[in-house]
Structure 1
């Protein structure tokens, strides 16, 4: 099963406070453990929302709002993409994580949809397209 592990933002990450050398070292060691175990497939930190934007949809209308965004508890500061046997295994790995911000931190673990989750609506043609796109991504 694949999981997205979301690192939630806090005041420090939104203010652009960079991690200490110690935290960078601890996270590097943790990421190395994840890679060696075959768990980590991707992962990155995100810059504060003042460098980003949101696109809102209402029917055919699109509205763009530039950051920063006020409510930090709903903001993502970084992520990992993991492959684990179960949610329990992903939780075990998350519990080993160094505190991502050094303050009150939170990781959110969410399973990704797999092709079989979509049922009959995910036709053989759509599956073929998905497989083709994944193959292209792997070659990049």
Structure 2
């Protein structure tokens, strides 16, 4: 079973800021140890930290009839918590996902949301076969590209 662990934190807690509640060096070392444990256990599929929302943007539509999406640059001040990073893990059960999530070195004010990533087979009864076949083909292409990318390192 795949699970996504989504770290949410107020942007005011961003590492490297003078008033950040956690020392950046200590936070990186703790996260490095956690990531190493995930890799050594063979459960980590992907993990990334994300840049502050000031460097991002969001796309919205005013209505279903609107033809042109609206682009709004960050920062997203209306949000109380923003996604700071994520992990995707492959584990045997929800309980194992919970065990890993409990080990994540999050500090006060940080929230770790854990959500199961459904397998494509779960959509066989509701999605048209052609759509599932096309999705399988796309995923194969992505895996091939990821394998090539890994060889370039």
TM range (shorter): 0.7 to 0.9
1:112 matched residue in structure 2 = 117
| Equivalent-residue separation in structure 1 for 2:9 and 2:115 (angstroms) | 17
Match of 1:122 in 2: 127
Indicate the SS of the match to 1:28: helix
TM-score (norm: length of structure 1): 0.86
1:108 Cα offset (Å): 0.1
Q: Is the 8 A contact 1:16 1:47 kept in 2?
A: no
Contact 2:8 / 2:110 at 8 angstroms: preserved in 1? yes
Report the TM-score when normalising by structure 2: 0.79
Distance 2:47 2:120 in 1: 22
Who is 2:42 aligned against?
38
Q: CA deviation at 1:31?
A: 0.5
Unaligned segments of structure 1, at least 5 residues: none
User: How many residue pairs align between the two structures?
Assistant: 137
Q: Deviations over 1:48-79 (max 9, x none)?
A: 11100010023134111111111443411111
Q: Which residue of 1 aligns with 2:13?
A: 12
Picking from 28, 38, 43, the partner of 1:24 is 28
